[in-house]
Amino acid sequence: MTTTNNTGPTVATAPTTTAAPPRTRFPAGFLWGSATAAYQIEGAVREDGRTPSIWDTFSHTPGKVANGDTGDIAVDHYHRWRDDVRLMADLGLTSYRFSVAWPRVQPTGRGPAVQRGLDFYRNLVDELLAHGIKPMATLYHWDLPQELESAGGWPERDTAYRFAEYAGIVGEALGDRVESWVTLNEPWCSAFLGYGSGVHAPGRTDPAAALRAAHHLNLGHGLATSALRATLPARAGIGISLNPSVVRALTDAPADLDAKRRIDALANRVFTGPLLKGAYPEDLIADTARVTDWSFVRDGDTDSIHQPLDFLGMNYYTPAVVSGPRDDQDGPRLDGHGASDHSPWPGADDVVFHHAPGEVTAMNWPVDPTGLTDLLLDYTAQAPGVPLYVTENGAAYEDSVDAEGRVHDPDRIRYLHAHLGAIHEAIAKGADVRGYFLWSLLDNFEWAYGYGKRFGAVYVDYETQARIPKSSASWYSQVARSGGLPADQ
């Protein structure tokens, strides 16, 4: 089945499927969604008033992104959004998590909005609602306006206040039709990959700046939450999407257990401490004392951060296995976050990361769905009464189009089946998980990997922009329509 795209070539749509009776049923009202990020899919980086973000600058810097790829065109979603929403509807999705491009709405990071930029998101949301798809809007998925970075970026306190202003603008524009809001996506990546290891934009390698950025991202979340609550109707829900690390010690040796504690502090508790408990962990401050004195945390900051959450978003791909320093360790850091001579782990750069045995994805990430069950149960205990969403989960594989124009991806189907089974297990054990957002709807610009890694349920031919639903799209469609997992994979 095909539809005509007024802005480009013919686009394949998902085949009609008949859902088999599920073996494992999810709760009524469970959201079956997909997720994307603006810079990864939209393109049109110079249209309708949009100005450069840090990712525009970073991707145009030689040597920063594989093959010199950029998001200039990406998958042209800015022009093909109607067809992409139609694909979601064909798949039977009930929700879609998208991000708003800050420099498309507020080009300098200050001042009034560009209405043409807001209109794009207004139109997108209206189209989603017309197809019965619930929008979940993410305010920040890493595309800081370059002008704010030139003024210091997230290590500077003012950026948190600018983010709150921007949040209020978007909330006022979309609050009458969007009920679910995510302030930040994966602030760990923004802080520690952007300012620590430098493998993400803006590409800085300053461990003290990374810790300052982490705090100001936390503060930005708190201030943005207040701005949204002042603007949105009472029915709206506000949360944050974290990428918690399921940290496992290689052995029970004291050095390995201490490595687990240190990485847990930097990967997880640097955010959940102020978010859920209103304070930064004392051991984190002690571990990083040689990097910073934390004087950037001012009186009242943690109160601003520690606000009631309507939900927590969990992004999960693979666990981390760590040990203390080892004499026999040589080669690249196996933390799954890209190659760099600079560590994203301030105060813990001597911790050694290990690959778990077994299957890996095209990202060389071990496949371990038990980590997702553990994660959901852990956060159920840490934040009792707060609903959870799996706001990202998925896998990259070496997908290709066969002679008949189809894309078969059985490895991804097995991956999704196992991880959805892990979510169901967590629900059975008491986790209040309300929805699942497959990463990603479309193959797209995969950050520093460029277009070399394909996470999508829908294959994109980057030359023609044709969309071809993969076998996993058909499988996921059956799951969404039936509300549960089939008996086989």
User: Residue 299, exposed/middle/buried by CB under 10 A (0-12, 13-18, 19+)?
Assistant: exposed
Residue positions counted in the chain: 489
Q: CA–CA separation, 53 vs 99, rounded Å?
A: 14
Contact 109, 148 (CB under 8 A): yes
186 is catalytic: yes
In whole angstroms, what is the distance from residue 463 CA to residue 466 CA? 8
Distance between CA atoms of residues 366 and 68, nearest Å: 27
Helix/strand/coil for 131: coil
| Cβ contact 5:83 at 8 Å | yes
Distance CA 352, CA 343 (A): 11
Residue 286 parent element (H or E): helix 282-287
Q: Is the distance from CB of 281 to CB of 369 less than 8 angstroms? A: no
**What is the three-class DSSP state of 142?**
coil
Query: Nearest-CA neighbor of 310 among 376, 388, 220, 372?
Result: 388
Structure tokens at 137: 């809007």
Neighbours of 111 (CB within 10 A): 11
Q: 293: which residues sit within 8 A by CB, 6+ positions away? A: none
Question: Scanning the structure block, which residue is given the tokens 């052995």?
Answer: 251
Phi, psi of 19 (to 5 degrees): -70, 130
What are the residues whose beta carbons fall under 8 Å from the beta carbon of 467, sequence distance 6 or more? 11, 12, 13, 83, 84, 87, 442, 458, 459, 460
Neighbouring CB atoms inside 10 A of 242's CB total 24
Tokens of 470: 């993969």
Tokens 């950025």 — which residue?
213
β-partners of residue 238 are 181
Alpha carbon distance 159, 139 (integer Å)? 14
Question: Which phi-psi region, left, alpha or beta, contains residue 198 (left: φ > 0; alpha: ψ -120 to 50)?
Answer: left
Annotated catalytic residue: which of 392, 398, 404, 425? 392
Residue whose structure tokens are 């990097």: 291
Q: In the 8-state DSSP scheme, what is residue 26?
A: P
Q: Catalytic pick from 186, 359, 398, 425?
A: 186
The verdict on whether 392 is a catalytic residue reads: yes
d(CA 221, CA 160): 8
Q: Which residues are known to be catalytic?
A: 186, 392
